[in-house]
Structure 1
Amino acid sequence: MKQWERVQTSIPDDIAFKIASLLQVSDVCALGSCCRLWRELWGSDSIWESLAKERWPSLTLFHASSSSSTVINAPISKGWKDFYIKRHKEVAGNATAVAKFVELCSQTESLEVGDHLKAIEDLSTTQLGFKDVQMFLFKPKCNVLLNLVGLHYCIHWLGVPGEYVIEALQSCKISERQVCVKWWKLGRWFYGFRMRDESHSCWVSLADLAMAKEPEVLVVLQRGAIHEVLRVQISVANPTCTPWSCQSTQTQN
Protein backbone atom coordinates (compact mmCIF):
# COMPACT_ATOMS: atom_id res chain seq x y z
CA MET A 1 0.00 0.00 0.00
CA LYS A 2 1.27 3.45 -0.89
CA GLN A 3 2.23 5.79 1.94
CA TRP A 4 -0.57 8.28 1.11
CA GLU A 5 -3.19 5.54 1.20
CA ARG A 6 -1.87 4.38 4.60
CA VAL A 7 -2.20 7.94 5.92
CA GLN A 8 -5.77 8.20 4.63
CA THR A 9 -6.72 4.82 6.07
CA SER A 10 -5.26 5.74 9.44
CA ILE A 11 -7.68 8.65 9.91
CA PRO A 12 -10.30 7.74 12.54
CA ASP A 13 -13.77 7.33 11.06
CA ASP A 14 -15.31 10.06 13.22
CA ILE A 15 -12.69 12.61 12.16
CA ALA A 16 -13.01 11.64 8.49
CA PHE A 17 -16.79 12.01 8.79
CA LYS A 18 -16.40 15.43 10.39
CA ILE A 19 -14.12 16.54 7.55
CA ALA A 20 -16.54 15.29 4.90
CA SER A 21 -19.52 16.94 6.62
CA LEU A 22 -17.83 20.36 6.26
CA LEU A 23 -17.43 20.06 2.49
CA GLN A 24 -19.62 21.51 -0.25
CA VAL A 25 -21.59 19.22 -2.56
CA SER A 26 -19.04 19.43 -5.38
CA ASP A 27 -16.25 18.47 -2.98
CA VAL A 28 -18.27 15.59 -1.54
CA CYS A 29 -18.86 14.30 -5.07
CA ALA A 30 -15.11 14.41 -5.69
CA LEU A 31 -14.64 11.96 -2.81
CA GLY A 32 -16.14 9.26 -5.00
CA SER A 33 -12.93 9.11 -7.04
CA CYS A 34 -10.65 8.84 -4.00
CA CYS A 35 -9.63 5.84 -1.90
CA ARG A 36 -12.02 3.34 -0.31
CA LEU A 37 -12.44 5.35 2.91
CA TRP A 38 -13.53 8.52 1.11
CA ARG A 39 -15.70 6.59 -1.36
CA GLU A 40 -17.60 5.09 1.55
CA LEU A 41 -18.11 8.54 3.04
CA TRP A 42 -19.29 9.83 -0.34
CA GLY A 43 -22.08 7.26 -0.28
CA SER A 44 -22.93 7.85 3.38
CA ASP A 45 -26.59 8.67 4.04
CA SER A 46 -25.58 10.81 7.02
CA ILE A 47 -23.50 13.11 4.79
CA TRP A 48 -26.24 13.50 2.17
CA GLU A 49 -28.96 13.94 4.79
CA SER A 50 -26.97 16.85 6.24
CA LEU A 51 -26.46 18.37 2.78
CA ALA A 52 -30.14 18.01 1.90
CA LYS A 53 -31.37 19.62 5.12
CA GLU A 54 -28.86 22.45 4.78
CA ARG A 55 -30.00 23.22 1.25
CA TRP A 56 -33.71 22.73 1.92
CA PRO A 57 -34.27 23.65 5.59
CA SER A 58 -37.99 22.89 5.37
CA LEU A 59 -37.09 19.21 5.21
CA THR A 60 -36.59 19.29 8.98
CA LEU A 61 -40.33 19.91 9.34
CA PHE A 62 -41.47 17.03 7.18
CA HIS A 63 -41.55 14.41 9.89
CA ALA A 64 -43.87 16.62 11.99
CA SER A 65 -46.19 17.53 9.09
CA SER A 66 -46.15 14.49 6.83
CA SER A 67 -49.88 14.89 6.10
CA SER A 68 -49.42 18.25 4.37
CA SER A 69 -50.28 18.26 0.67
CA THR A 70 -47.21 20.37 -0.09
CA VAL A 71 -44.74 18.03 1.61
CA ILE A 72 -41.93 16.67 -0.52
CA ASN A 73 -41.50 12.92 -0.11
CA ALA A 74 -38.17 12.86 1.69
CA PRO A 75 -36.58 9.65 2.97
CA ILE A 76 -36.39 9.21 6.75
CA SER A 77 -33.22 7.19 7.26
CA LYS A 78 -31.86 5.99 3.94
CA GLY A 79 -31.57 6.93 0.29
CA TRP A 80 -30.56 10.55 0.97
CA LYS A 81 -27.98 10.67 -1.82
CA ASP A 82 -30.54 9.51 -4.39
CA PHE A 83 -33.10 11.91 -2.91
CA TYR A 84 -30.64 14.83 -3.13
CA ILE A 85 -29.88 14.11 -6.79
CA LYS A 86 -33.58 13.71 -7.65
CA ARG A 87 -34.55 16.88 -5.78
CA HIS A 88 -31.72 18.85 -7.42
CA LYS A 89 -33.01 17.87 -10.86
CA GLU A 90 -36.56 18.86 -9.90
CA VAL A 91 -35.40 22.23 -8.59
CA ALA A 92 -33.35 22.85 -11.74
CA GLY A 93 -36.42 22.12 -13.87
CA ASN A 94 -38.65 24.38 -11.78
CA ALA A 95 -36.13 27.24 -11.87
CA THR A 96 -35.80 26.86 -15.64
CA ALA A 97 -39.59 27.04 -16.03
CA VAL A 98 -39.73 30.28 -14.01
CA ALA A 99 -36.83 31.72 -16.03
CA LYS A 100 -38.65 30.94 -19.30
CA PHE A 101 -41.84 32.52 -17.95
CA VAL A 102 -40.02 35.74 -17.03
CA GLU A 103 -38.25 35.79 -20.39
CA LEU A 104 -41.56 35.34 -22.22
CA CYS A 105 -43.24 38.13 -20.24
CA SER A 106 -40.35 40.58 -20.64
CA GLN A 107 -39.61 40.47 -24.35
CA THR A 108 -39.68 44.28 -24.41
CA GLU A 109 -37.20 44.39 -21.49
CA SER A 110 -39.96 45.30 -19.05
CA LEU A 111 -42.09 43.21 -16.70
CA GLU A 112 -45.53 43.96 -15.31
CA VAL A 113 -45.75 43.52 -11.55
CA GLY A 114 -48.47 40.86 -11.88
CA ASP A 115 -46.09 38.64 -13.84
CA HIS A 116 -43.28 39.45 -11.37
CA LEU A 117 -45.42 38.27 -8.44
CA LYS A 118 -46.61 35.22 -10.40
CA ALA A 119 -43.00 34.14 -10.91
CA ILE A 120 -42.34 34.51 -7.18
CA GLU A 121 -45.48 32.53 -6.35
CA ASP A 122 -44.25 29.72 -8.63
CA LEU A 123 -40.93 29.66 -6.76
CA SER A 124 -42.80 29.43 -3.46
CA THR A 125 -45.02 26.61 -4.72
CA THR A 126 -42.00 24.53 -5.70
CA GLN A 127 -40.28 25.34 -2.37
CA LEU A 128 -36.96 26.59 -3.69
CA GLY A 129 -34.39 27.28 -0.98
CA PHE A 130 -31.94 30.16 -0.65
CA LYS A 131 -29.09 28.10 -2.11
CA ASP A 132 -31.30 27.14 -5.05
CA VAL A 133 -31.89 30.81 -5.81
CA GLN A 134 -28.16 31.52 -5.68
CA MET A 135 -27.45 28.56 -7.93
CA PHE A 136 -30.08 29.17 -10.60
CA LEU A 137 -31.38 32.77 -10.41
CA PHE A 138 -28.41 34.85 -9.26
CA LYS A 139 -26.26 34.01 -12.26
CA PRO A 140 -24.71 37.05 -14.03
CA LYS A 141 -25.86 35.67 -17.39
CA CYS A 142 -29.49 35.75 -16.21
CA ASN A 143 -31.71 38.72 -17.03
CA VAL A 144 -31.63 41.27 -14.20
CA LEU A 145 -35.43 40.94 -13.98
CA LEU A 146 -34.93 37.29 -13.04
CA ASN A 147 -32.27 38.35 -10.51
CA LEU A 148 -34.87 40.67 -8.99
CA VAL A 149 -37.46 37.89 -8.80
CA GLY A 150 -34.95 35.76 -6.87
CA LEU A 151 -34.03 38.64 -4.57
CA HIS A 152 -37.67 39.49 -3.80
CA TYR A 153 -38.46 35.82 -3.14
CA CYS A 154 -35.55 35.47 -0.70
CA ILE A 155 -36.46 38.57 1.30
CA HIS A 156 -40.25 38.33 1.50
CA TRP A 157 -41.00 34.62 1.12
CA LEU A 158 -37.95 32.92 2.66
CA GLY A 159 -37.28 35.68 5.18
CA VAL A 160 -33.55 35.71 4.47
CA PRO A 161 -31.84 38.68 6.24
CA GLY A 162 -30.74 41.45 3.89
CA GLU A 163 -27.07 41.09 4.79
CA TYR A 164 -27.09 37.44 3.67
CA VAL A 165 -28.82 38.35 0.44
CA ILE A 166 -26.38 41.12 -0.40
CA GLU A 167 -23.47 38.81 0.39
CA ALA A 168 -24.87 36.33 -2.12
CA LEU A 169 -25.39 39.11 -4.69
CA GLN A 170 -21.80 40.26 -4.26
CA SER A 171 -20.48 36.71 -4.48
CA CYS A 172 -22.36 36.25 -7.77
CA LYS A 173 -21.17 39.69 -8.99
CA ILE A 174 -24.66 41.07 -9.62
CA SER A 175 -25.11 43.43 -6.65
CA GLU A 176 -24.67 46.58 -8.76
CA ARG A 177 -27.10 45.57 -11.49
CA GLN A 178 -29.99 48.02 -11.72
CA VAL A 179 -33.68 48.03 -12.51
CA CYS A 180 -36.13 50.86 -13.10
CA VAL A 181 -39.41 50.55 -11.21
CA LYS A 182 -42.30 52.76 -12.35
CA TRP A 183 -45.72 52.99 -10.76
CA TRP A 184 -48.79 55.09 -11.38
CA LYS A 185 -50.93 56.25 -8.45
CA LEU A 186 -54.49 57.48 -8.48
CA GLY A 187 -54.71 61.25 -8.17
CA ARG A 188 -55.62 62.57 -4.74
CA TRP A 189 -58.92 64.30 -4.02
CA PHE A 190 -58.69 67.99 -3.19
CA TYR A 191 -61.82 69.97 -2.23
CA GLY A 192 -64.10 67.67 -4.20
CA PHE A 193 -61.85 67.46 -7.27
CA ARG A 194 -59.52 64.60 -8.15
CA MET A 195 -56.07 65.75 -9.09
CA ARG A 196 -54.07 64.25 -11.95
CA ASP A 197 -52.67 60.74 -11.59
CA GLU A 198 -49.07 60.62 -10.41
CA SER A 199 -46.27 58.78 -12.17
CA HIS A 200 -43.34 57.67 -9.99
CA SER A 201 -40.08 56.14 -11.17
CA CYS A 202 -36.98 54.88 -9.42
CA TRP A 203 -33.76 53.43 -10.79
CA VAL A 204 -32.20 51.30 -8.06
CA SER A 205 -29.54 48.62 -7.70
CA LEU A 206 -30.18 45.09 -6.43
CA ALA A 207 -27.87 45.84 -3.49
CA ASP A 208 -29.95 48.85 -2.44
CA LEU A 209 -33.13 46.79 -2.61
CA ALA A 210 -31.56 44.03 -0.52
CA MET A 211 -30.57 46.56 2.14
CA ALA A 212 -33.99 48.28 1.96
CA LYS A 213 -32.48 51.66 1.01
CA GLU A 214 -35.56 52.31 -1.12
CA PRO A 215 -38.33 50.95 1.14
CA GLU A 216 -41.12 52.50 -0.96
CA VAL A 217 -39.99 50.51 -3.98
CA LEU A 218 -40.06 47.27 -1.98
CA VAL A 219 -43.57 48.05 -0.73
CA VAL A 220 -44.79 48.75 -4.25
CA LEU A 221 -43.26 45.52 -5.58
CA GLN A 222 -44.72 43.52 -2.71
CA ARG A 223 -48.26 44.93 -2.97
CA GLY A 224 -48.41 45.21 -6.74
CA ALA A 225 -51.20 47.10 -8.50
CA ILE A 226 -53.75 47.47 -5.72
CA HIS A 227 -55.82 50.20 -4.06
CA GLU A 228 -54.42 53.57 -5.15
CA VAL A 229 -51.63 52.06 -7.29
CA LEU A 230 -52.95 51.64 -10.82
CA ARG A 231 -49.98 49.95 -12.44
CA VAL A 232 -46.40 48.85 -11.64
CA GLN A 233 -43.78 48.13 -14.29
CA ILE A 234 -40.17 46.95 -13.89
CA SER A 235 -37.67 47.72 -16.66
CA VAL A 236 -34.13 46.67 -17.41
CA ALA A 237 -33.23 50.26 -18.30
CA ASN A 238 -35.14 53.45 -18.84
CA PRO A 239 -33.60 56.84 -19.67
CA THR A 240 -36.41 58.66 -17.83
CA CYS A 241 -35.36 57.11 -14.52
CA THR A 242 -32.96 58.98 -12.30
CA PRO A 243 -30.20 56.70 -10.91
CA TRP A 244 -30.17 56.17 -7.13
CA SER A 245 -33.23 58.35 -6.52
CA CYS A 246 -36.97 58.42 -7.03
CA GLN A 247 -38.96 61.04 -8.85
CA SER A 248 -42.63 61.70 -9.47
CA THR A 249 -44.63 63.60 -12.06
CA GLN A 250 -48.30 64.20 -12.70
CA THR A 251 -50.00 62.72 -15.73
CA GLN A 252 -53.24 63.66 -17.47
CA ASN A 253 -56.30 61.74 -16.23
Structure 2
Amino acid sequence: MEAPTSGSALSLNRLPDDVALTVVSFLEVCDVCSLGSCSKFWCYLCASNSIWAELYKRRWPALAVASGSLSNPAGSSLIQVVGGGRGECSAEAEEASASSLVPTEGWKAFYINKHRTLAAAVSSVVAYVNGCSQNESLEVGYYLKALGDLCLIKLGFRDVQFLLFSRRLNVLLNLIGLHYSIVCLGIPPNDVKRALLSCQVSERQVSINWFKLGRWFYGFRLPDEHHSRKVSLGELTMGEEEELLAVLNRGALHEVLRVQIAPVTPSTKWL
Protein backbone atom coordinates (compact mmCIF):
# COMPACT_ATOMS: atom_id res chain seq x y z
CA MET A 1 0.00 0.00 0.00
CA GLU A 2 1.26 3.49 -0.90
CA ALA A 3 2.23 5.74 1.96
CA PRO A 4 -0.06 8.80 2.20
CA THR A 5 1.36 12.05 1.02
CA SER A 6 1.77 14.95 3.42
CA GLY A 7 -1.33 16.56 1.96
CA SER A 8 -3.50 13.50 2.51
CA ALA A 9 -2.09 13.06 6.01
CA LEU A 10 -3.07 16.63 6.81
CA SER A 11 -6.59 16.05 5.54
CA LEU A 12 -6.89 12.95 7.72
CA ASN A 13 -5.96 14.99 10.78
CA ARG A 14 -8.74 17.50 10.24
CA LEU A 15 -12.42 16.66 10.03
CA PRO A 16 -14.86 18.87 8.16
CA ASP A 17 -16.15 21.56 10.52
CA ASP A 18 -19.74 20.34 10.47
CA VAL A 19 -18.70 16.75 11.28
CA ALA A 20 -16.35 17.93 14.04
CA LEU A 21 -19.09 20.11 15.57
CA THR A 22 -21.44 17.13 15.58
CA VAL A 23 -18.83 15.05 17.41
CA VAL A 24 -18.20 17.77 20.00
CA SER A 25 -21.94 18.26 20.58
CA PHE A 26 -22.10 14.81 22.23
CA LEU A 27 -19.40 15.65 24.80
CA GLU A 28 -19.72 16.94 28.34
CA VAL A 29 -18.12 20.23 29.35
CA CYS A 30 -14.96 18.65 30.84
CA ASP A 31 -14.40 16.66 27.64
CA VAL A 32 -14.94 19.76 25.49
CA CYS A 33 -12.30 21.64 27.50
CA SER A 34 -9.85 18.73 27.23
CA LEU A 35 -10.39 18.36 23.49
CA GLY A 36 -9.92 22.10 23.03
CA SER A 37 -6.37 21.83 24.36
CA CYS A 38 -5.32 19.32 21.67
CA SER A 39 -4.66 21.69 18.74
CA LYS A 40 -5.46 25.10 17.35
CA PHE A 41 -8.21 23.58 15.20
CA TRP A 42 -9.95 21.93 18.17
CA CYS A 43 -9.34 24.98 20.37
CA TYR A 44 -11.17 27.18 17.87
CA LEU A 45 -13.95 24.64 17.33
CA CYS A 46 -14.51 23.90 21.04
CA ALA A 47 -14.90 27.62 21.74
CA SER A 48 -17.80 27.73 19.26
CA ASN A 49 -20.84 29.72 20.41
CA SER A 50 -23.21 26.96 19.35
CA ILE A 51 -21.34 24.34 21.40
CA TRP A 52 -21.43 26.39 24.60
CA ALA A 53 -25.03 27.42 24.04
CA GLU A 54 -25.93 23.73 23.90
CA LEU A 55 -23.87 22.98 27.03
CA TYR A 56 -25.64 25.82 28.81
CA LYS A 57 -29.09 24.59 27.81
CA ARG A 58 -28.19 21.04 28.76
CA ARG A 59 -27.08 22.04 32.25
CA TRP A 60 -29.71 24.71 32.94
CA PRO A 61 -32.78 23.68 30.89
CA ALA A 62 -35.03 26.11 32.78
CA LEU A 63 -32.94 28.94 31.34
CA ALA A 64 -32.62 27.41 27.90
CA VAL A 65 -32.47 29.92 25.07
CA ALA A 66 -34.39 29.86 21.81
CA SER A 67 -32.47 28.00 19.13
CA GLY A 68 -32.48 30.99 16.81
CA SER A 69 -30.79 33.36 19.27
CA LEU A 70 -27.24 32.02 19.22
CA SER A 71 -25.58 35.31 18.34
CA ASN A 72 -22.40 36.66 19.87
CA PRO A 73 -22.19 40.44 19.61
CA ALA A 74 -19.57 42.31 21.58
CA GLY A 75 -20.41 43.35 25.12
CA SER A 76 -20.76 41.86 28.58
CA SER A 77 -24.41 41.97 29.57
CA LEU A 78 -27.62 40.07 28.95
CA ILE A 79 -30.24 41.31 26.48
CA GLN A 80 -33.80 40.14 25.94
CA VAL A 81 -35.07 39.58 22.42
CA VAL A 82 -38.64 40.87 22.26
CA GLY A 83 -40.66 42.91 19.81
CA GLY A 84 -38.61 41.76 16.83
CA GLY A 85 -35.39 42.84 18.54
CA ARG A 86 -36.44 46.51 18.78
CA GLY A 87 -36.96 46.47 22.59
CA GLU A 88 -40.60 47.66 22.68
CA CYS A 89 -42.47 47.21 25.95
CA SER A 90 -45.52 44.99 25.52
CA ALA A 91 -47.54 42.25 27.19
CA GLU A 92 -45.47 39.75 25.26
CA ALA A 93 -42.31 41.27 26.74
CA GLU A 94 -43.66 40.90 30.29
CA GLU A 95 -44.45 37.25 29.64
CA ALA A 96 -41.15 36.46 27.91
CA SER A 97 -39.47 33.52 29.57
CA ALA A 98 -35.81 32.90 30.34
CA SER A 99 -35.59 31.04 27.04
CA SER A 100 -35.46 34.40 25.23
CA LEU A 101 -32.36 35.64 27.03
CA VAL A 102 -29.27 36.07 24.89
CA PRO A 103 -25.81 36.69 26.42
CA THR A 104 -23.94 39.43 24.62
CA GLU A 105 -20.59 38.24 26.01
CA GLY A 106 -20.50 34.86 24.25
CA TRP A 107 -21.90 31.58 25.50
CA LYS A 108 -18.61 30.20 26.84
CA ALA A 109 -18.03 33.22 29.07
CA PHE A 110 -21.71 33.19 30.08
CA TYR A 111 -21.49 29.50 31.04
CA ILE A 112 -18.27 30.03 33.03
CA ASN A 113 -19.65 33.06 34.89
CA LYS A 114 -22.81 31.22 35.91
CA HIS A 115 -20.82 28.18 37.01
CA ARG A 116 -18.54 30.37 39.13
CA THR A 117 -21.52 32.12 40.72
CA LEU A 118 -23.11 28.80 41.71
CA ALA A 119 -19.77 27.37 42.84
CA ALA A 120 -19.24 30.37 45.14
CA ALA A 121 -22.72 29.92 46.63
CA VAL A 122 -22.19 26.19 47.16
CA SER A 123 -18.75 26.81 48.70
CA SER A 124 -20.47 28.73 51.50
CA VAL A 125 -22.66 25.67 52.18
CA VAL A 126 -19.56 23.45 52.13
CA ALA A 127 -17.81 25.74 54.62
CA TYR A 128 -20.92 25.78 56.83
CA VAL A 129 -21.17 21.97 56.93
CA ASN A 130 -17.45 21.56 57.59
CA GLY A 131 -17.65 24.15 60.37
CA CYS A 132 -20.65 22.49 62.02
CA SER A 133 -19.19 18.98 61.89
CA GLN A 134 -18.09 18.00 65.38
CA ASN A 135 -15.89 14.92 65.71
CA GLU A 136 -16.63 14.29 62.02
CA SER A 137 -20.38 14.02 62.70
CA LEU A 138 -23.24 16.37 61.91
CA GLU A 139 -26.41 17.01 63.89
CA VAL A 140 -29.58 16.89 61.82
CA GLY A 141 -30.48 20.53 62.48
CA TYR A 142 -27.32 21.70 60.71
CA TYR A 143 -27.91 19.10 58.00
CA LEU A 144 -31.41 20.45 57.27
CA LYS A 145 -30.12 24.04 57.33
CA ALA A 146 -27.58 23.17 54.62
CA LEU A 147 -30.34 21.46 52.63
CA GLY A 148 -32.51 24.57 52.89
CA ASP A 149 -29.62 26.75 51.71
CA LEU A 150 -29.27 24.59 48.59
CA CYS A 151 -32.98 25.08 47.90
CA LEU A 152 -32.47 28.86 48.05
CA ILE A 153 -29.55 28.62 45.61
CA LYS A 154 -31.83 26.62 43.28
CA LEU A 155 -29.26 24.16 42.05
CA GLY A 156 -30.16 21.88 39.17
CA PHE A 157 -29.32 18.17 39.10
CA ARG A 158 -26.26 18.70 36.90
CA ASP A 159 -25.08 21.40 39.30
CA VAL A 160 -25.29 18.86 42.13
CA GLN A 161 -23.19 16.41 40.13
CA PHE A 162 -20.57 19.05 39.34
CA LEU A 163 -20.39 20.66 42.78
CA LEU A 164 -21.47 18.10 45.41
CA PHE A 165 -20.91 14.58 44.03
CA SER A 166 -17.14 14.86 44.40
CA ARG A 167 -14.76 12.52 46.20
CA ARG A 168 -12.78 15.58 47.28
CA LEU A 169 -15.69 16.58 49.53
CA ASN A 170 -16.80 15.12 52.84
CA VAL A 171 -19.26 12.27 52.26
CA LEU A 172 -21.78 14.26 54.34
CA LEU A 173 -21.90 16.80 51.49
CA ASN A 174 -22.38 13.97 48.99
CA LEU A 175 -25.31 12.83 51.15
CA ILE A 176 -26.82 16.32 51.24
CA GLY A 177 -26.58 16.48 47.43
CA LEU A 178 -28.28 13.07 47.16
CA HIS A 179 -31.08 14.11 49.55
CA TYR A 180 -31.59 17.41 47.72
CA SER A 181 -31.79 15.66 44.34
CA ILE A 182 -34.39 13.09 45.40
CA VAL A 183 -36.54 15.07 47.84
CA CYS A 184 -36.25 18.68 46.62
CA LEU A 185 -35.73 18.24 42.87
CA GLY A 186 -37.80 15.08 42.53
CA ILE A 187 -35.11 13.27 40.52
CA PRO A 188 -35.90 9.53 40.14
CA PRO A 189 -33.69 7.51 42.53
CA ASN A 190 -32.35 5.37 39.67
CA ASP A 191 -31.06 8.51 37.91
CA VAL A 192 -29.41 9.66 41.13
CA LYS A 193 -27.80 6.24 41.55
CA ARG A 194 -26.36 6.40 38.02
CA ALA A 195 -24.95 9.85 38.77
CA LEU A 196 -23.35 8.57 41.99
CA LEU A 197 -21.75 5.71 40.09
CA SER A 198 -20.51 8.06 37.37
CA CYS A 199 -18.96 10.37 39.99
CA GLN A 200 -17.46 7.34 41.83
CA VAL A 201 -19.08 8.14 45.19
CA SER A 202 -21.77 5.44 45.22
CA GLU A 203 -19.84 3.17 47.60
CA ARG A 204 -19.05 5.86 50.17
CA GLN A 205 -20.79 5.15 53.47
CA VAL A 206 -22.43 7.09 56.26
CA SER A 207 -23.60 6.13 59.72
CA ILE A 208 -27.04 7.45 60.73
CA ASN A 209 -27.91 7.35 64.43
CA TRP A 210 -31.22 8.43 65.89
CA PHE A 211 -32.85 8.27 69.29
CA LYS A 212 -36.58 7.68 69.61
CA LEU A 213 -38.69 8.54 72.63
CA GLY A 214 -39.62 5.41 74.57
CA ARG A 215 -43.19 4.20 74.03
CA TRP A 216 -45.79 4.18 76.77
CA PHE A 217 -46.77 0.68 77.90
CA TYR A 218 -49.52 0.22 80.48
CA GLY A 219 -48.81 3.58 82.09
CA PHE A 220 -45.03 3.21 82.01
CA ARG A 221 -42.66 4.79 79.52
CA LEU A 222 -40.15 2.36 78.10
CA PRO A 223 -36.48 3.41 77.74
CA ASP A 224 -35.56 5.58 74.78
CA GLU A 225 -34.59 3.60 71.70
CA HIS A 226 -31.24 4.00 69.97
CA HIS A 227 -31.07 3.09 66.28
CA SER A 228 -27.89 2.97 64.25
CA ARG A 229 -27.56 2.17 60.55
CA LYS A 230 -24.54 2.06 58.28
CA VAL A 231 -25.41 2.52 54.62
CA SER A 232 -23.75 3.45 51.34
CA LEU A 233 -24.94 6.37 49.23
CA GLY A 234 -25.95 3.96 46.48
CA GLU A 235 -28.11 1.97 48.91
CA LEU A 236 -29.94 5.14 49.94
CA THR A 237 -31.35 5.38 46.40
CA MET A 238 -33.04 1.99 46.81
CA GLY A 239 -36.60 1.55 48.01
CA GLU A 240 -35.74 -0.42 51.15
CA GLU A 241 -33.79 2.53 52.55
CA GLU A 242 -36.63 5.06 52.28
CA GLU A 243 -36.95 5.00 56.08
CA LEU A 244 -33.50 6.56 56.50
CA LEU A 245 -34.26 9.43 54.12
CA ALA A 246 -37.55 9.95 55.96
CA VAL A 247 -35.68 10.16 59.30
CA LEU A 248 -33.27 12.72 57.83
CA ASN A 249 -36.07 14.68 56.20
CA ARG A 250 -38.10 14.99 59.40
CA GLY A 251 -35.18 15.67 61.70
CA ALA A 252 -35.56 15.87 65.48
CA LEU A 253 -39.35 16.16 65.72
CA HIS A 254 -42.00 14.58 67.91
CA GLU A 255 -40.93 11.03 68.73
CA VAL A 256 -37.36 11.44 67.40
CA LEU A 257 -35.13 13.11 69.98
CA ARG A 258 -31.89 13.37 68.05
CA VAL A 259 -30.45 12.46 64.65
CA GLN A 260 -26.73 12.37 63.99
CA ILE A 261 -24.92 11.62 60.72
CA ALA A 262 -21.27 10.62 60.45
CA PRO A 263 -18.93 9.38 57.71
CA VAL A 264 -17.95 5.73 57.89
CA THR A 265 -14.18 5.30 57.86
CA PRO A 266 -11.99 2.36 58.90
CA SER A 267 -11.49 4.10 62.24
CA THR A 268 -15.21 4.70 62.91
CA LYS A 269 -16.20 3.52 66.39
CA TRP A 270 -19.70 2.19 66.92
CA LEU A 271 -21.71 3.22 69.91
Give your verdict on TM over 0.5: yes
User: What residue is the counterpart of 1:23 in the other structure?
Assistant: 27
Counterpart code for 2:111: Y
Asked whether 1:55 is paired with 2:85, we answer no
User: What residue is the counterpart of 2:144 in the other structure?
Assistant: 117
TM-score (norm 2): 0.73
Q: Is the 8 A contact 1:113 1:221 kept in 2?
A: yes
User: What residue is the counterpart of 2:118 in the other structure?
Assistant: 91
Asked whether 1:240 is paired with 2:270, we answer yes
User: What residue is the counterpart of 2:102 in the other structure?
Assistant: 76
User: What residue is the counterpart of 1:246 in the other structure?
Assistant: none
Name whichever of 193-202 and 216-225 sits farther off: 193-202
User: What residue is the counterpart of 1:11 in the other structure?
Assistant: 16
- Quote the offset at 1:39 in angstroms: 5.2
Q: Is the 8 A contact 2:252 2:258 kept in 1?
A: yes
Structure 2 unaligned residues grouped into runs of 5+:
1-5, 67-79, 81-92
Counterpart code for 1:76: V
- Quote the offset at 1:109 in angstroms: 1.0
| Count of matched residue pairs | 235
How far apart are the structure 2 equivalents of 1:67 and 1:177? 47
Structure 2 matches for 1:166-205, cutoff 5 A? 166-205=193-232
Counterpart code for 2:16: I
How far apart are the structure 1 equivalents of 2:94 and 2:215? 49
User: What residue is the counterpart of 1:251 in the other structure?
Assistant: none
- Quote the offset at 1:11 in angstroms: 2.2
- 179, 184, 198: which one aligns with 1:152: 179
Matched position secondary structure for 2:116 = helix
- Quote the offset at 1:10 in angstroms: 7.0
Matched position secondary structure for 2:240 = coil
How far apart are the structure 2 equivalents of 1:166 and 1:45? 32
User: What residue is the counterpart of 1:211 in the other structure?
Assistant: 238
Which of the pair has more CA radius of gyration?
Answer: 2
Counterpart code for 2:27: L
- Cα gap change, 1:174 to 1:20, in 2 (>3 Å): closer
Q: Deviations over 1:179-208 (max 9, x none)?
A: 111112222233344333222211111111
TM-score (norm 1): 0.78
Q: Is the 8 A contact 2:138 2:262 kept in 1?
A: yes
How far apart are the structure 2 equivalents of 1:121 and 1:74? 30
Asked whether 1:101 is paired with 2:128, we answer yes
Q: Deviations over 1:120-171 (max 9, x none)?
A: 2222221222222222222223211111111111111122222222222223
Q: Deviations over 1:49-95 (max 9, x none)?
A: 211121123224999xx989xx9899336532221010111122122
Matched position secondary structure for 2:159 = helix
Name whichever of 78-87 and 103-112 sits farther off: 78-87
- Quote the offset at 1:43 in angstroms: 3.8
Matched position secondary structure for 1:232 = strand
How far apart are the structure 1 equivalents of 2:138 and 2:100? 36
- Quote the offset at 1:111 in angstroms: 0.4
Q: Deviations over 1:207-228 (max 9, x none)?
A: 1102233221111011111222
